[in-house]
Amino acid sequence: MEVQEDLESVHHEELLWSRKVRCDCLALRDQNTKFFHRRIIYRRKHNRITALKNDNEEWVFDEALQVEVVNFFQRLYGEVLEPLRGSPSSIMQNGVPIEKFRPIRGIR
């Protein structure tokens, strides 16, 4: 009889602690959400390129910045690739239409 009462007491204590931990976790999770949200907002504000120096050592902004970046990569890679707008991404593999690929061996 006494063992049964002790077992019930331990069970109730375990329930009490699990509920307390759950309440604490819920409260801390809300704080973490605020923390991570603030961190993301901060990173969005500060991880931007707003100006660059071009080859003439002049600062370029906004539309000219976009043009300068495109020109840089055109010079770097030598050619302009047209975007693959006509092909859905579901039939593409690494940017190349799948029909150009022939499997070496079958799927097992």
| Contacts (Cβ under 8 Å, ≥6 apart) of 97 | 84, 87, 91
Q: Which residue has the higher pLDDT, 96 or 2?
A: 2
> Is residue 60 within 8 Å of residue 51, measured between CB atoms?
yes
CA-based R_g, the chain, Å: 30
For the chain, the domains span 1-48, 49-79
Q: Strands 92-93 and 59-61: what pairing?
A: unpaired
Q: What would the two tokens of residue 60 be?
A: 């370029």
Give residue-wise pLDDT tens across range 39-79. 888 888 888 888 888 888 888 888 888 888 888 888 888 75
- C-alpha span between 92 and 81 (Å, rounded): 16
Q: Nearest CA to 70 among 84, 83, 86? A: 83
